[in-house]
Amino acid sequence: MYRNCITDVAGIHVGQVSDHQAQTGCTVILCGDGAVCGVEVRGSAPGTRETDLLEPHMLVDQVHGVFLGGGSAFGLAVGDGMMQYLEEKGIGFDVGVTKVPIVTGAVLFDLHMGSYQIRPDAGMGYEACRQASQQKISEGNYGAGTGATVGKVLGHEQAMKGGIGSASITLDNGLVVGAIVAVNAFGDIRDWQSGKIFAGAREKETGELIDTCSYLKQHFQTNLAFKRDNTTIGAIATNAKLSKAECKKLAQMSMNGLVKVISPFGSTLDGDTVFALSKGTHSADLNLLGIMAAEAMAIAVNRGIQGAQSTGGIPSTRDYLGAIE
Protein backbone atom coordinates (compact mmCIF):
# COMPACT_ATOMS: atom_id res chain seq x y z
CA MET A 1 0.00 0.00 0.00
CA TYR A 2 1.44 3.37 -1.06
CA ARG A 3 1.52 5.82 1.87
CA ASN A 4 3.53 8.72 0.37
CA CYS A 5 5.76 8.38 3.42
CA ILE A 6 9.27 7.23 4.27
CA THR A 7 7.69 4.03 5.59
CA ASP A 8 7.06 3.01 1.96
CA VAL A 9 10.65 1.74 2.13
CA ALA A 10 10.46 -1.85 3.35
CA GLY A 11 12.03 -2.37 6.76
CA ILE A 12 11.72 1.28 7.84
CA HIS A 13 9.52 1.92 10.88
CA VAL A 14 8.77 5.34 12.37
CA GLY A 15 7.52 6.23 15.84
CA GLN A 16 6.69 9.63 17.30
CA VAL A 17 6.03 11.02 20.77
CA SER A 18 4.74 14.55 21.33
CA ASP A 19 4.28 16.65 24.45
CA HIS A 20 1.84 19.25 23.19
CA GLN A 21 1.79 21.15 26.47
CA ALA A 22 5.57 21.53 26.61
CA GLN A 23 5.67 21.93 22.80
CA THR A 24 8.39 19.39 22.08
CA GLY A 25 8.81 15.79 20.97
CA CYS A 26 10.87 13.25 19.08
CA THR A 27 10.68 11.06 15.99
CA VAL A 28 12.56 7.77 15.69
CA ILE A 29 13.37 5.78 12.56
CA LEU A 30 14.10 2.11 13.17
CA CYS A 31 15.96 0.03 10.60
CA GLY A 32 15.35 -3.50 11.84
CA ASP A 33 18.60 -5.46 11.76
CA GLY A 34 20.47 -2.50 10.30
CA ALA A 35 20.87 -0.15 7.37
CA VAL A 36 23.86 1.46 5.68
CA CYS A 37 23.90 5.14 6.60
CA GLY A 38 25.55 8.39 5.58
CA VAL A 39 25.07 11.96 6.73
CA GLU A 40 25.48 15.51 5.48
CA VAL A 41 25.68 18.45 7.90
CA ARG A 42 25.14 21.67 5.98
CA GLY A 43 24.30 24.14 8.75
CA SER A 44 26.81 25.71 11.11
CA ALA A 45 25.09 25.06 14.44
CA PRO A 46 24.28 21.31 14.50
CA GLY A 47 23.34 19.15 17.45
CA THR A 48 24.14 15.54 16.55
CA ARG A 49 25.00 12.10 17.92
CA GLU A 50 27.44 9.53 16.47
CA THR A 51 27.78 11.24 13.10
CA ASP A 52 31.55 10.60 13.02
CA LEU A 53 30.80 6.88 12.71
CA LEU A 54 28.97 7.52 9.44
CA GLU A 55 32.01 8.75 7.55
CA PRO A 56 32.95 6.27 4.79
CA HIS A 57 36.35 5.46 6.31
CA MET A 58 34.96 4.51 9.73
CA LEU A 59 34.64 0.84 10.77
CA VAL A 60 30.95 0.42 11.57
CA ASP A 61 28.98 0.19 8.33
CA GLN A 62 25.40 0.02 9.59
CA VAL A 63 23.08 1.80 12.02
CA HIS A 64 20.01 0.43 13.75
CA GLY A 65 18.14 3.66 14.38
CA VAL A 66 18.05 7.39 13.66
CA PHE A 67 16.27 10.01 15.75
CA LEU A 68 15.09 13.54 15.12
CA GLY A 69 14.30 15.46 18.29
CA GLY A 70 13.48 18.78 19.86
CA GLY A 71 15.08 20.10 23.05
CA SER A 72 18.31 21.39 21.55
CA ALA A 73 21.38 19.52 22.91
CA PHE A 74 19.29 18.19 25.81
CA GLY A 75 17.25 16.19 23.28
CA LEU A 76 20.24 14.03 22.38
CA ALA A 77 19.18 11.88 25.36
CA VAL A 78 16.53 10.37 23.06
CA GLY A 79 19.28 8.14 21.70
CA ASP A 80 19.77 6.53 25.13
CA GLY A 81 16.16 5.37 25.18
CA MET A 82 16.49 3.99 21.67
CA MET A 83 19.59 2.03 22.67
CA GLN A 84 17.78 0.53 25.65
CA TYR A 85 14.84 -0.53 23.49
CA LEU A 86 17.00 -2.02 20.75
CA GLU A 87 19.26 -3.88 23.19
CA GLU A 88 16.18 -5.43 24.79
CA LYS A 89 15.14 -6.62 21.32
CA GLY A 90 18.57 -8.15 20.69
CA ILE A 91 19.39 -5.66 17.94
CA GLY A 92 22.87 -4.20 17.59
CA PHE A 93 26.54 -4.74 16.87
CA ASP A 94 27.52 -8.07 18.41
CA VAL A 95 30.38 -7.64 20.89
CA GLY A 96 30.04 -11.03 22.52
CA VAL A 97 28.61 -10.13 25.91
CA THR A 98 25.76 -8.11 24.38
CA LYS A 99 24.69 -6.33 21.23
CA VAL A 100 25.44 -2.62 21.04
CA PRO A 101 22.84 -0.72 18.98
CA ILE A 102 24.30 1.93 16.70
CA VAL A 103 22.03 4.96 17.04
CA THR A 104 22.59 8.32 15.40
CA GLY A 105 20.46 11.43 15.29
CA ALA A 106 20.07 15.18 15.33
CA VAL A 107 18.15 17.75 17.36
CA LEU A 108 16.54 21.13 16.75
CA PHE A 109 16.00 24.14 19.01
CA ASP A 110 12.43 24.51 20.33
CA LEU A 111 13.13 25.68 23.89
CA HIS A 112 11.25 28.97 23.37
CA MET A 113 8.00 27.03 22.85
CA GLY A 114 6.02 25.68 25.81
CA SER A 115 8.26 24.78 28.73
CA TYR A 116 12.03 24.91 28.23
CA GLN A 117 12.38 22.69 31.33
CA ILE A 118 10.74 19.73 29.59
CA ARG A 119 12.82 18.20 26.82
CA PRO A 120 12.80 14.91 24.92
CA ASP A 121 14.61 12.34 27.06
CA ALA A 122 15.44 8.63 27.15
CA GLY A 123 11.91 7.75 28.23
CA MET A 124 10.44 9.59 25.28
CA GLY A 125 12.89 7.89 22.92
CA TYR A 126 11.99 4.47 24.31
CA GLU A 127 8.27 5.12 23.94
CA ALA A 128 8.68 6.36 20.37
CA CYS A 129 10.45 3.09 19.55
CA ARG A 130 7.67 1.12 21.19
CA GLN A 131 5.12 2.89 19.00
CA ALA A 132 7.11 2.62 15.77
CA SER A 133 5.28 1.13 12.79
CA GLN A 134 5.11 1.23 9.01
CA GLN A 135 1.95 3.34 9.09
CA LYS A 136 1.86 6.81 7.55
CA ILE A 137 3.14 9.33 10.08
CA SER A 138 1.15 12.17 11.61
CA GLU A 139 2.41 15.43 10.09
CA GLY A 140 2.71 18.97 11.40
CA ASN A 141 2.77 19.40 15.21
CA TYR A 142 4.04 15.91 16.01
CA GLY A 143 7.30 14.31 17.04
CA ALA A 144 10.32 16.47 16.32
CA GLY A 145 8.04 18.99 14.63
CA THR A 146 5.89 19.68 17.70
CA GLY A 147 7.61 22.94 18.65
CA ALA A 148 9.18 23.79 15.29
CA THR A 149 8.87 27.29 13.82
CA VAL A 150 10.02 28.99 10.59
CA GLY A 151 10.76 32.49 9.32
CA LYS A 152 12.58 34.05 12.28
CA VAL A 153 14.50 36.99 10.84
CA LEU A 154 12.12 39.41 12.62
CA GLY A 155 12.09 37.41 15.84
CA HIS A 156 10.10 34.53 17.23
CA GLU A 157 6.96 36.65 17.70
CA GLN A 158 6.71 37.24 13.94
CA ALA A 159 7.52 33.67 12.90
CA MET A 160 5.13 30.93 11.75
CA LYS A 161 4.59 27.32 12.72
CA GLY A 162 6.90 24.65 11.37
CA GLY A 163 6.38 20.92 11.61
CA ILE A 164 7.30 17.43 10.47
CA GLY A 165 6.43 15.97 7.08
CA SER A 166 7.15 12.93 4.96
CA ALA A 167 6.88 11.89 1.33
CA SER A 168 8.11 9.18 -1.03
CA ILE A 169 8.80 8.70 -4.72
CA THR A 170 8.19 5.26 -6.23
CA LEU A 171 9.12 4.12 -9.75
CA ASP A 172 7.49 1.38 -11.83
CA ASN A 173 10.46 -0.92 -11.26
CA GLY A 174 9.84 -0.91 -7.49
CA LEU A 175 12.57 1.57 -6.60
CA VAL A 176 11.56 3.74 -3.64
CA VAL A 177 13.07 6.82 -2.04
CA GLY A 178 11.36 8.30 1.01
CA ALA A 179 12.02 11.44 3.06
CA ILE A 180 11.11 12.67 6.51
CA VAL A 181 11.96 16.14 7.78
CA ALA A 182 11.37 18.36 10.81
CA VAL A 183 11.27 21.97 9.58
CA ASN A 184 12.52 24.55 12.07
CA ALA A 185 14.21 26.90 9.63
CA PHE A 186 15.51 30.44 9.99
CA GLY A 187 14.29 31.10 6.46
CA ASP A 188 10.97 31.17 4.61
CA ILE A 189 9.21 28.16 3.11
CA ARG A 190 8.37 28.11 -0.60
CA ASP A 191 5.98 25.95 -2.56
CA TRP A 192 8.07 23.22 -4.20
CA GLN A 193 6.37 23.71 -7.58
CA SER A 194 5.56 27.44 -7.86
CA GLY A 195 8.32 28.87 -5.66
CA LYS A 196 5.82 31.11 -3.87
CA ILE A 197 6.48 31.82 -0.19
CA PHE A 198 3.66 30.45 1.95
CA ALA A 199 5.24 30.47 5.42
CA GLY A 200 7.87 32.67 6.99
CA ALA A 201 8.53 35.97 8.71
CA ARG A 202 5.55 38.36 8.96
CA GLU A 203 5.66 42.15 8.74
CA LYS A 204 4.40 43.48 12.09
CA GLU A 205 2.18 46.32 10.85
CA THR A 206 0.62 44.83 7.73
CA GLY A 207 0.84 41.13 8.55
CA GLU A 208 2.23 40.40 5.09
CA LEU A 209 4.79 37.67 4.56
CA ILE A 210 8.20 39.14 3.76
CA ASP A 211 10.95 37.66 1.64
CA THR A 212 13.79 37.05 4.13
CA CYS A 213 16.54 37.17 1.51
CA SER A 214 15.26 40.46 0.10
CA TYR A 215 14.81 41.85 3.61
CA LEU A 216 18.42 41.10 4.53
CA LYS A 217 19.71 42.76 1.37
CA GLN A 218 17.68 45.88 2.17
CA HIS A 219 18.63 45.84 5.87
CA PHE A 220 22.28 44.88 5.52
CA GLN A 221 23.13 46.31 8.95
CA THR A 222 20.97 43.67 10.69
CA ASN A 223 22.90 41.69 13.34
CA LEU A 224 21.84 38.03 13.27
CA ALA A 225 24.60 36.54 15.41
CA PHE A 226 22.28 35.77 18.33
CA LYS A 227 19.49 34.10 16.34
CA ARG A 228 20.67 30.50 16.64
CA ASP A 229 17.35 28.83 17.34
CA ASN A 230 16.95 27.17 13.94
CA THR A 231 17.61 23.81 12.29
CA THR A 232 16.01 21.59 9.67
CA ILE A 233 16.75 17.92 10.30
CA GLY A 234 15.66 14.90 8.31
CA ALA A 235 16.40 11.56 6.75
CA ILE A 236 16.23 9.85 3.38
CA ALA A 237 15.64 6.10 3.01
CA THR A 238 15.79 3.92 -0.08
CA ASN A 239 15.48 0.28 -1.04
CA ALA A 240 18.49 0.68 -3.34
CA LYS A 241 21.71 -1.02 -2.26
CA LEU A 242 24.35 1.62 -1.48
CA SER A 243 27.73 1.91 0.19
CA LYS A 244 28.42 4.35 3.03
CA ALA A 245 30.08 6.74 0.59
CA GLU A 246 27.07 6.56 -1.72
CA CYS A 247 24.73 7.18 1.21
CA LYS A 248 26.69 10.29 2.11
CA LYS A 249 26.41 11.52 -1.47
CA LEU A 250 22.67 10.78 -1.45
CA ALA A 251 22.28 12.84 1.73
CA GLN A 252 24.13 15.68 0.01
CA MET A 253 21.98 15.46 -3.13
CA SER A 254 18.76 15.34 -1.11
CA MET A 255 19.58 18.79 0.20
CA ASN A 256 18.94 20.17 -3.28
CA GLY A 257 15.29 19.75 -2.35
CA LEU A 258 15.77 21.78 0.83
CA VAL A 259 17.53 24.55 -1.10
CA LYS A 260 14.49 24.71 -3.37
CA VAL A 261 11.92 25.23 -0.60
CA ILE A 262 13.81 26.88 2.29
CA SER A 263 15.11 30.41 1.67
CA PRO A 264 17.81 30.96 2.80
CA PHE A 265 19.03 27.43 3.55
CA GLY A 266 22.17 26.18 5.32
CA SER A 267 22.94 29.47 7.04
CA THR A 268 25.35 29.99 9.91
CA LEU A 269 22.24 30.22 12.09
CA ASP A 270 20.95 26.74 11.22
CA GLY A 271 22.21 23.25 12.07
CA ASP A 272 20.73 21.59 8.99
CA THR A 273 21.47 17.84 8.95
CA VAL A 274 20.19 14.99 6.74
CA PHE A 275 20.83 11.25 7.12
CA ALA A 276 20.53 8.77 4.25
CA LEU A 277 19.64 5.11 4.83
CA SER A 278 20.07 2.23 2.39
CA LYS A 279 18.03 -0.87 3.17
CA GLY A 280 17.38 -3.02 0.13
CA THR A 281 18.79 -4.82 -2.87
CA HIS A 282 17.66 -2.73 -5.86
CA SER A 283 20.29 -1.50 -8.28
CA ALA A 284 19.99 2.15 -9.25
CA ASP A 285 22.06 5.02 -10.60
CA LEU A 286 23.05 7.33 -7.76
CA ASN A 287 22.14 10.41 -9.78
CA LEU A 288 18.60 9.11 -10.27
CA LEU A 289 18.34 8.44 -6.54
CA GLY A 290 19.54 11.97 -5.86
CA ILE A 291 16.82 13.42 -8.07
CA MET A 292 14.19 11.33 -6.31
CA ALA A 293 15.54 12.22 -2.87
CA ALA A 294 15.54 15.97 -3.58
CA GLU A 295 11.95 15.83 -4.81
CA ALA A 296 10.78 13.74 -1.85
CA MET A 297 12.52 16.09 0.58
CA ALA A 298 10.99 19.21 -0.97
CA ILE A 299 7.50 17.70 -0.84
CA ALA A 300 8.04 16.53 2.74
CA VAL A 301 8.97 20.07 3.82
CA ASN A 302 5.79 21.44 2.24
CA ARG A 303 3.67 18.71 3.85
CA GLY A 304 5.16 19.44 7.27
CA ILE A 305 4.22 23.12 7.00
CA GLN A 306 0.80 22.49 5.47
CA GLY A 307 -0.04 19.98 8.20
CA ALA A 308 0.95 22.29 11.07
CA GLN A 309 -1.55 23.89 13.43
CA SER A 310 -1.35 27.27 15.15
CA THR A 311 -0.10 27.07 18.74
CA GLY A 312 1.42 29.25 21.45
CA GLY A 313 0.60 32.43 19.56
CA ILE A 314 2.46 31.20 16.48
CA PRO A 315 0.12 30.99 13.45
CA SER A 316 0.09 28.14 10.96
CA THR A 317 -0.04 28.58 7.21
CA ARG A 318 -3.56 27.24 6.86
CA ASP A 319 -4.89 29.61 9.55
CA TYR A 320 -2.81 32.70 8.78
CA LEU A 321 -3.06 32.87 5.02
CA GLY A 322 -6.80 32.47 5.25
CA ALA A 323 -6.91 35.34 7.73
CA ILE A 324 -4.92 37.87 5.66
CA GLU A 325 -6.23 37.11 2.16
Tell me: the pLDDT tens digits for 245-282?
A: 999 999 999 999 999 999 988 777 777 899 999 999 99
Q: What is the structure's pLDDT at 292?
A: 98
Strands 160-161 and 163-170: unpaired
> Minimal CA–CA distance to 200: which of 110, 109, 264?
264
Q: Which residues, in sequence order, are bridge partners of residue 138?
A: none
Q: Where are the alpha helices (DSSP H) in 14-148?
A: 78-88, 122-131
Distance in Å from the first CA to the final CA of the chain: 38
- Under-50 pLDDT residues of the chain: 325
Residue 261 burial (CB count, 10 A): 29
Give Cα 26 to chain centroid, integer Å. 10
Surface-to-core class of residue 33, CB atoms within 10 Å of its CB (0-12 exposed, 13-18 middle, 19+ buried)? exposed
What's residue 268's pLDDT?
Answer: 78
Residue (of 30, 40, 135, 48) closest to 92 by Cα position: 30
The superfamily (CATH) of domain 6-324 is: L-amino peptidase D-ALA esterase/amidase (3.60.70.12)
Q: Let me know: does 112 contact 313? Beta carbons within 8 Å.
A: no
Contact 231, 47 (CB under 8 A): yes
- Predicted pLDDT at 325: 47
Encode pLDDT of 174-221 as tens digits.
999 999 999 999 999 999 999 999 999 998 888 889 998 888 888 777
How high is the pLDDT of residue 248?
96
Q: Count the neighbouring beta carbons within 10 Å of the beta carbon of residue 156.
A: 15
**For residue 59, which amino acid is it?**
L
Domain boundaries, the chain: 6-324
DSSP state of 204: T
pLDDT of residue 323: 59
Q: Is the dihedral angle over the CA atoms 312, 67, 109, 214 positive or is it negative?
A: negative
Residue-level length of the chain: 325
For 139, phi then psi, to 5°, come to -110, 160
